[in-house]
Amino acid sequence: MSARIIDGKAVAERLRAGLAARVTALPFRPGLRVVRVGDDPASGVYVRNKDKAAAAAGFDSATIQLPAVTTEAELLALVGRLNDDPAVDGILVQLPLPRQIRQDAVIAAIDPAKDVDGFHAVNAGLLATQQPGLVPCTPKGCLHLLREAGASLAGARAVVLGRSQIVGRPMAQLLLAADCTVTIVHSRTRDLPAECRRAEILIAAVGRPEMVRGDWVADGAIVIDVGINRLPDGRLVGDVAFAEAAARAEAITPVPGGVGPMTIACLLENTLEAALRRRG
């Protein structure tokens, strides 16, 4: 069997076009502010892509660049000003932050109604209790891709590899809300390959290049690869050994061009949602 490729780039383009059409019809432009502290080159690319996609879809988007020596108090003061600014609907503080700044303190300071990353404890709690809130962009994008791939979710055995606050845990919550039978597996799980082989839907989100081998994948599984890993030779690979897994899976996301483009599209979706909720 050779797997269908789930084209995240195309799905994200459609999603962004739909959002742009909705934004055009609004009497205001949803406001997004991306805050970047320091000059980590990898996050520079992400931040520029977010800004470009937001502007192209008609959002009022701006990046606020702060020096690497910014103190926690200075960043918290900026977050406070953005919380109070009525033109700002979404605030995203790009992670990771320099060492002198506590990530948790910054996330906790963001108004949950403007927390378009969905990282605030209030939004995590709303997701866990099946109430409307802002859902983290990457798992939300993965769920879109599963639906696009035609996955039957109700009753399906879903395995989430990775338990991060940003992807693994919220992914498990979303799949549970979609009536999957969900297992979270991680670095301390006994016999990871056997656990993954039980999955009809496998979400890999561990950040280890090509960790999931072909014999971890059940025949006919749908595989969503969240990993974006740069190898020493410059190649970009996922958490899944693509060719091996594609020989067994029914459908699989590529890296790049799978989950990555969906994350930005879902950030815009969250910003529009936040704007509509705040402004009625």
Residue 239: count other Cβ atoms within 10 Å of its Cβ.
Answer: 24
Closest of 271, 278, 280 to residue 91, by C-alpha: 271
Query: Smallest distance, Å, CB 103 to ligand GUN?
Result: 9
The C-alpha angle with vertex 82 and arms to 79 and 85, in degrees rounded to 5, equals: 155
95 binds ligand GUN (CB under 6 A): yes
Tokens standing for 43? 């996050």
Query: Smallest distance, Å, CB 37 to ligand GUN?
Result: 11
35 binds ligand GUN (CB under 6 A): no
Query: Smallest distance, Å, CB 194 to ligand GUN?
Result: 30
Q: Is 110 annotated as a binding residue?
A: no
50 is catalytic: yes
Per-residue mark of binding to ligand GUN, 50-69 (x: CB under 6 A): --------------------
The window from 62-70, 91-99, 174-182, 216-224 that contacts ligand GUN (CB under 6 A) reads: 91-99
228 binds ligand GUN (CB under 6 A): no
Report yes or no: 267 and 274 within 8 Å, Cβ to Cβ. no
Residue number of the CB closest to ligand GUN reads 95
The radius of gyration computed from the CA coordinates of the chain, to the nearest angstrom, equals 19
92 binds ligand GUN (CB under 6 A): yes
The window from 80-88, 89-97, 147-155, 233-241 that contacts ligand GUN (CB under 6 A) reads: 89-97
Of 60, 89, 115, 117, the active-site residue reads: 117
**94, 173, 253, 270: which one binds ligand GUN (CB under 6 A):** 94
The C-alpha angle with vertex 20 and arms to 66 and 36, in degrees rounded to 5, equals: 10
Query: Smallest distance, Å, CB 80 to ligand GUN?
Result: 18
* Distance of alpha carbon 115 from alpha carbon 34, whole angstroms: 11
Report yes or no: 138 and 259 within 8 Å, Cβ to Cβ. yes
How many residues line the site for ligand GUN (CB under 6 A)? 7
Q: What is the DSSP letter of 134?
A: P
Transcribe 8-76 into DSSP letters. Answer: HHHHHHHHHHHHHHHHHTSSS--EEEEEEES--HHHHHHHHHHHHHHHHTT-EEEEEEE-TT--HHHHH
* Bond into 98 cis (ω within 30): no
Query: Smallest distance, Å, CB 142 to ligand GUN?
Result: 13
**Residue 160 bridge partners (DSSP):** 184, 203
Q: Is 91 annotated as a binding residue?
A: no
Per-residue mark of binding to ligand GUN, 115-154 (x: CB under 6 A): --x-------------------xx----------------
Closer residue to ligand GUN (CB): 32 or 202:
32
What are the phi and psi torsion angles at 32 (to 5°)? -125, 130
15 binds ligand GUN (CB under 6 A): no
Pick out the residues of the known binding site for NADP(+). Answer: 162-164, 228
Q: Which residues are marked as active site?
A: 50, 94, 117
Which residues make up the interface to ligand GUN (CB under 6 A)? 92-95, 117, 137-138
Pick out the residues of the known binding site. Answer: 162-164, 228
